[in-house]
Chain A
Amino acid sequence: MAINQPMLKMNMWFAKNPGKVSGTVGGLIVISWLLSLLHAGMPAEAIMYAGGIVGTVQVALRAWSALKAKTISIELLVTIACLGAMGIGEPDEAAIVTFLFLFGNVLEARTLAKTRSAVKDLTDMAPEQADVVQADGSTVATDIDDIDEGDHVLVRPGGQVPVDGIVTSGTGRTLEAVITGEAKPVTKEAGDKVFAGTMLDSGTLTVETTAAGEDSTFGQIVELVEEAQDAQAPVARFIDKFATYYTPAVLIIAIIVGLVSRDISLAITMLVLGCPGALVIGAPVANVAGIGRAAGTGILFKGGATVASLAAADTLMLDKTGTITTGKMLVHTHKNFAADENAALGMLSAIERGSNHPLANAIVAYATQKGVSEPAAPDMSTIKGLGLASADGKYLVGNDRLLAKYGVTISADVQAAIDDAQNAGDSVVILAIDQQVALVVGVNDVVRPGAAVGLAAMKKNGIKKIVMLTGDNRAAAERIASELPIDEVRAELLPQEKLDIVNAAQKAGSKVAFVGDGINDAPALATADVGIGMGGGTAVALDTADVVLVKADFATLSRAVGLAKGTTRVTTQNIVIAVGTVVLLLLGLLVGIVHMGSGMFVHEASILLVIANALRLLNKK
């Protein structure tokens, strides 16, 4: 260990100051050139040797550390080439090659950091500390890693919620866009769930921790994205494997060429040209930039393979409820048969207010929005499967069977209104007062805003067929589909049947992307070539889907398809650039116009070119 200490220190210094080393080498090269312009041959050559040696030592140190780890690295090729160049009296080649190599590394590190910036913005948002409430009521700022489940933490107005947990006291409004994509503040009070990474817009909350740090939903999102960026597309994995054998192969070929041709200059030039730089970095860098960009806009890809399969998808299958529609019930139509419409709606709302049924909530929201005044609600009891009725039968709220049970006559007009609503796929709620039908209300969930535009955009982006799958009745499904560019509707399905449809399409040769909320369509999500979860950053969606849309809307879905295509395109371009560069360099070598220095220059230029190409993805809309 003692022997290694100075070497370790030197290695560390070099690793931390690559700019200084390449600057020194560059400076020595320039001084040497100036001196030779002044015809000072000897000192010029000596200084060039100095430059070559400084550069080579730096590269050799890295090559050595890699060798110790049993890896034949690019640095080893460059080291041997430079030692060879100095050996045959070409110190300028050695100096220039190491300068370009080191300077190129500095530029690469800078630009690579940029491709990672989108994810860094995300990780920088991770909470680091929490104010833990002590037994005496005071708070102690505690590192997030030391927070345990059950700890109570205090969140102050304007502060960040540091943990996932349940509110135990206080009220406030949180901004949860990072987890749910919801831009509007959400009101929180005792018993509500809050998420780490969200902001407390106003109010003060005390939160009982359920998960902190990497275990929180936010932590899982960060981890997912970090792992995804390293999870390569199949083409990149192939190249990675190829590169492992490629570098030693180049070394062996160069040795053979040197032995056969007895031309050391040719052999060492081959070593430099053989560096697999752009080839190794071209595909992964596209992956990093594409996945990073996506994460910054609320699209979480689970890896390069997912990006590739979404880009290749030609069939899009969507679940209806909660995916194409918001899953929230709204009043779709209402028809009045009472003398005073507002009074009837007020009474209906007053009665429904006592119920927790989704249909009831929709009606109350509708009446509130209309601004009708509510009378005191009569005492109602539930008639199972039919609706609500007051004890004397004066007030009835429910379906047509409830009315029949209480002997209310249904006129032709009323029947027409009920039929219309049912044909449109609505659930029907009828209010009858004193044996007279007062209101017929149709309730349905609504299509997400932007669905038509988003689906149309995807058709332009290479999706050939859009299929809607639903467990609902055909009338409801057809009504929704008629407003949208949907090619096929499959209704009245069980979860198993959704899976069968995905399977059948795949057997017929389609590449299927399935979009669902991950709750009742998990099997289909898992079976499709790529499963897209639209449920926001919920645990279910994070587990089952390959792509998670934090913001559940169609503009985001369409952007995900666009980004996947863009990333795949950049990957292909980069591979073409990299392979093309190697081919051109070898041709140039054969006709004798490429030398060590110029070869390294083209090489480094091609690396920067593929990185710059990938950086374009960061600005992609």
Chain B
Amino acid sequence: MKLAIMKLDGMTCPSCMQKIEHAVGGQNGVQDVKVLFNAAKLKAHFDPEATDADKLASVVQELGYTVESIKVKD
């Protein structure tokens, strides 16, 4: 399991958070996902065999949110 931490931009309402959590959480290989609304951060544990951080970032962008930076930690 790896941990992806993304800094997001453009979250204006808590329902944005729900959207992102649903969408990223539904991806194959994602174990858990947490969106920190106020810090505009996303933290997701994922299986590096099944997916990667860039894939998850593109899911977020498809919803219409900018991903400012991505960090991956073991």
- Contact call B61/A69, Cβ cutoff below 8 A: no
Closest Cβ–Cβ distance, residue B59 to chain A (whole Å): 9
| B10:A65 contact, CB within 8 angstroms | no
B13 within 8 Å of A (CB atoms): yes
Minimum CB distance partner of A104 in chain B: B12
**B38–A119 contact, CB under 8 A?**
yes
Q: Identify the interface centre among A11, A230, A244: most chain B CB within 10 Å of its CB.
A: A230
Q: Are B19 and A12 in touch, CB under 8 angstroms?
A: no
Cβ of B50: which chain A residues have Cβ within 8 Å of it?
A: none
Tally of contact residues, A, Cβ under 8 A: 36
Of B20, B22, B38, B65, the most chain A CB neighbours within 10 A belong to: B38
Is there an interface contact between A240 and B41, defined as CB atoms closer than 8 Å?
Answer: no
**Out of A15, A61, A69, A280, which one reaches B23, CB within 8 Å?**
A69
With a cutoff of 8 Å between Cβ atoms, the chain A residues found around residue B18 in the complex are 69, 71, 244
Asked whether A109 and B38 contact (CB < 8 A) given A4-B62, A11-B64, A65-B64, the answer is: no
Complex Cα spacing A212 to B61, Å: 30
Name the interface size band of chain B. Answer: 20 to 34
CB atoms of A280 and B14 under 8 A apart? yes
Is the Cβ of A112 less than 8 Å from the Cβ of B12? yes
* B22 partner residues in chain A, CB cutoff 8 A: 69-71
Taking a contact as CB atoms under 8 Å apart, the answer to whether B15 and A73 are in contact is yes
B1 on interface, CB distance cutoff 8 Å: no
Bound: A105/B64 CA distance, A: 15
Please tell me if A8 contacts chain B, counting CB pairs below 8 Å: yes
A133, B29: Cα distance in complex, Å:
39
In whole Å, how far is B2's beta carbon from the nearest beta carbon of chain A? 14
For A288, what are the chain B residues with a Cβ–Cβ distance below 8 Å?
38
Contact with B along A546-574 (1 / 0, CB 8 A): 00000000000000000000000000000
Q: Is the CB of A281 within 8 A of B19?
A: no
Judge whether A337 is part of the interface by a CB distance below 8 angstroms. no
Q: Which residue of chain B has its CB nearest to the CB of A607?
A: B13
A68 to chain B: which residues have CB within 8 Å? 23, 63
Known contacts A73-B19, A226-B41, A229-B39: does B61 contact A281 (CB below 8 Å)? no
User: In the complex, are the beta carbons of B19 and A8 less than 8 A apart?
Assistant: no
Q: Pick from B12, B39, B62, B71: contact of A105, CB below 8 A.
A: B12
**Interface residue from A4, A16, A66 paired with B10 (Cβ < 8 Å):** A16
Instruction: Decide if A74 is an interface residue (CB 8 Å cutoff).
Output: yes
B-side contacts of A15, CB under 8 Å: 10, 64-66
* Residues of the A chain whose Cβ atoms lie less than 8 Å from the Cβ of B65: 15
Are B61 and A226 in contact (CB-based, < 8 A)? no
Q: Mark interface residues in A219-260 (1 if CB within 8 Å of B CB, else 0).
A: 000000011011000000000100110000000000000000
Task: Name the distance in Å between A11's Cβ and chain B's nearest Cβ.
Answer: 4
- B62 / chain A contacts, CB cutoff of 8 Å: 4, 8, 11, 65
A442 to chain B, nearest CB (A): 51
Q: Whole-angstrom distance from the CB of A115 to the nearest CB of chain B?
A: 8
C-alpha gap A123/B40 in the complex (Å): 12
A366 within 8 A of B: no
Question: Which residues does chain B contribute within 8 Å of A105, judged by CB atoms?
Answer: 12
Cβ proximity bits B1-33 to A, threshold 8 Å, 1 near / 0 not: 000000000101111001110110010000000
B63 touching A69, Cβ below 8 Å: yes
Q: Are B38 and A280 in contact (CB under 8 A)?
A: no
Residues of A within 8 A of B39 (CB): 116, 119, 123, 226, 229-230
User: Is there a chain B Cβ closer than 8 Å to A492's Cβ?
Assistant: no
A601 part of interface (Cβ distance < 8 Å): no
Point out the residues of chain A lying under 8 angstroms from B66, CB to CB. 12, 15-16
B71 touches A14 (CB 8 A): no
Interface set, chain A 15-73, CB cutoff 8 A to B: 15-16, 61-62, 65-66, 68-71, 73
Tell me which residues across on chain A come within 8 A of B64, comparing CB atoms: 8, 11-12, 14-15, 61-62, 65
* B12 proximity list for chain A (CB < 8 A): 105, 108-109, 112
Known: A8-B62, A69-B63. A116 touches B19 (CB 8 A): no
Interface centre among A69, A73, A109, A288 (most CB of B within 10 A): A69
Instruction: Point out which of B14, B20, B71 has the most chain A C-beta atoms below 10 A from its C-beta.
Output: B14
Contact B38 A69 (CB under 8 A): no
Decide if A284 is an interface residue (CB 8 Å cutoff): yes
Is residue A500 contacting chain B, with contact meaning CB distance below 8 A? no
A16 to B23, CA, bound (A): 20
- Enumerate A274-299 residues with CB–CB distance to B below 8 Å: 280-281, 284, 288
Given A16-B10, A281-B13, CB of A8 within 8 Å of CB of B38: no
Known: A14-B64, A15-B64, A70-B22. A230 touches B38 (CB 8 A): yes
What are 13 A-B interface contacts by the 8 Å CB criterion?
A: A4-B62, A8-B64, A14-B64, A65-B62, A69-B26, A69-B63, A71-B15, A71-B18, A71-B19, A119-B38, A123-B39, A229-B37, A288-B38
Given contacts A227-B36, A229-B39, A288-B38, 10 further A-B contacts (CB under 8 A): A8-B64, A15-B65, A65-B19, A65-B64, A69-B20, A70-B22, A71-B18, A116-B39, A230-B39, A284-B14
Q: List 10 A-B pairs, minimum CB-CB distance, nearest first.
A: A226-B39, A229-B38, A69-B22, A15-B64, A11-B64, A69-B23, A69-B19, A109-B12, A65-B63, A66-B19
